[in-house]
Amino acid sequence: MRVAPPLLALLLLLGCAACENRLTAAHNARIERAMGGPDYVTLAVVWPAAKADDRFVDGARLAVETINREGGLNGRPVRLVVRDAADTPQEAETVARDLVEDPTLVGVIGHPSSEAALTACVVYEHAGVLFIAPEATAPVLTESRFDYIVRPTPNDAIIADTYVAYIKKRRAENPTGWDELAITSDLSLDGMRMSGLLRDKLAAIGLRLTLIHAYLPNGGNVVDIAGELAALRPDATFLVGTMPGAAITLARLRDAGAPGLFLGGEQLNGPYTIDLAGKRAEGLIVPDYPDPAQNRHAYEHNHPEKAMALEKAFGDDVTGWGTHGYDMVILFADGVKAAGTTVPRAVAAAIRHFDRWQGVTGAYTFTRRGDIVADRAYLSVVKNGRFVPLESEPKEPIKGE
Task: Render pLDDT for 297-338 as a digit per residue (tens, 0 to 9).
Answer: 555 656 666 667 777 767 655 447 788 899 999 999 999 999
> Over the stretch 368-397, which tens digit does the pLDDT of each residue have?
999 999 878 889 999 999 888 886 444 444
Q: How far apart are CA 312 and CA 196, in angstroms?
A: 42
Dist. CA 328–CA 25, nearest whole Å: 28
State the average pLDDT for the chain: 84
Is 16's pLDDT higher than 60?
no
Q: Hey, do 4-153+295-364 and 157-288+377-389 end up sharing a CATH topology, with the first three levels equal? A: yes
CA 256, 260, 265, 268 dihedral sign is: positive
Q: Under DSSP, is residue 300 helix (H, G, I), strand (E, B) or coil?
A: helix
Judge if the upstream peptide bond of residue 394 is cis by omega within 30 degrees of 0. no
pTM of the full structure: 0.83
Q: What is the C-alpha to C-alpha distance for residues 291 and 378, in angstroms, rounded to an integer?
A: 6
57 or 2, which is more confident? 57
Average pLDDT over residues 47-63: 81
Sequence letter at residue 17: A
Give Cα 358 to chain centroid, integer Å: 18
Cis preceding linkage at 48, omega within 30: no
**What is the rounded average pLDDT of the residues 241-246?**
87
Residue type, 317: D
CA dihedral 399, 182, 263, 136 (to 10 degrees): 60
pLDDT score recorded for residue 299: 59
CA distance 238 to 387: 18
For residue 251, give the amino acid letter.
A
Cα gap 205→198, rounded to integer Å: 11
Give me the percent of the chain exceeding a pLDDT of 90: 55
Q: Which CATH superfamily is domain 4-153+295-364 in?
A: Response regulator (3.40.50.2300)
pLDDT in the model for residue 398: 38
Instruction: Determine the Cα–Cα distance for residues 128 and 117; give it in Å rounded to an integer.
Output: 16
Superfamily of domain 157-288+377-389: Response regulator (3.40.50.2300)
Q: What are the pLDDT digits (tens) for 131-173?
A: 999 999 999 999 988 999 999 999 999 999 999 999 999 999 9
Amino acid at position 4, single letter = A
Integer Cα distance of 80 and 61 in angstroms: 7
Within 8 A by CB and 6+ apart from 322, the residues are: 54, 55, 56, 58, 59, 62, 310, 313, 314
Cα 54 to Cα 215: distance, rounded to the nearest angstrom: 24
Q: What is the pLDDT of residue 14?
A: 47
- Residue 54's pLDDT is 67
What's residue 63's pLDDT?
Answer: 94
Please report, for the chain, the start and end positions of each structural domain, with discontinuous segments joined by +.
4-153+295-364, 157-288+377-389
Residue 185 and residue 195: Cα distance in Å, rounded?
7
Phi, psi of 150 (to 5 degrees): -135, 130
